[in-house]
Structures are given as C-alpha cells and as structure tokens.
Amino acid sequence: LLGLTYPASNSQVGLNQGQAKIILKPNGDKVALIVMGYSGIDTQRAAALLKNYNNYKDKLKGLTEVYVGGTTANPTIEAGFS
C-alpha cells in the first residue's frame, strides 16, 4: 500500500526515534488504516491514541496522516496532513 519493499526502514517511512504514524490509505473501494512506529512502544502509543479516539476526533477530522508523539499514557498529535 505504501510502495515500499519489506522490510522497510524507519527512514523510508519517515519516522524518527520516538515517533509513530497513523495513515488512512485508499485501497480500491475501501480504506486501509496503517499504524506504525519507530519501535514497538511507539506503535503502542499510536494505538493508544486510536483507542481513545473520542478524545482526539476533533484534531483528527479531515486528516489522512498524522505523526504521534508524547507517551503511551498521553499520546499527542505532532503533525497532521490531509
């Protein structure tokens, strides 16, 4: 979906240490939700943000890609793109 060969490096997907990324990517007549992190903890942070979607929905509205920082207990949206 991202046009990368497996395994892709963090630099190929645009991740720095301590960052995670959430992407909505069109896939035919559906949309794929991709969650990735620099490390496993970073991926868990992005998953925590999605788990608490109602707390972030206003900030996420209209975005197709976001970078997630902060902590697993308190994830933050660092940047978003539509």
| pTM for the full predicted model | 0.87
pLDDT tens, the chain, 82 aa long: 777 777 778 778 888 899 999 999 999 999 999 999 999 999 999 999 999 999 999 999 999 999 999 999 999 999 888 8
Classify 36 as helix, strand or coil: strand
| pLDDT recorded at residue 70 | 95
What is the C-alpha separation between 36 and 21, in angstroms, rounded? Answer: 5
| pLDDT recorded at residue 81 | 86
| pLDDT recorded at residue 77 | 95
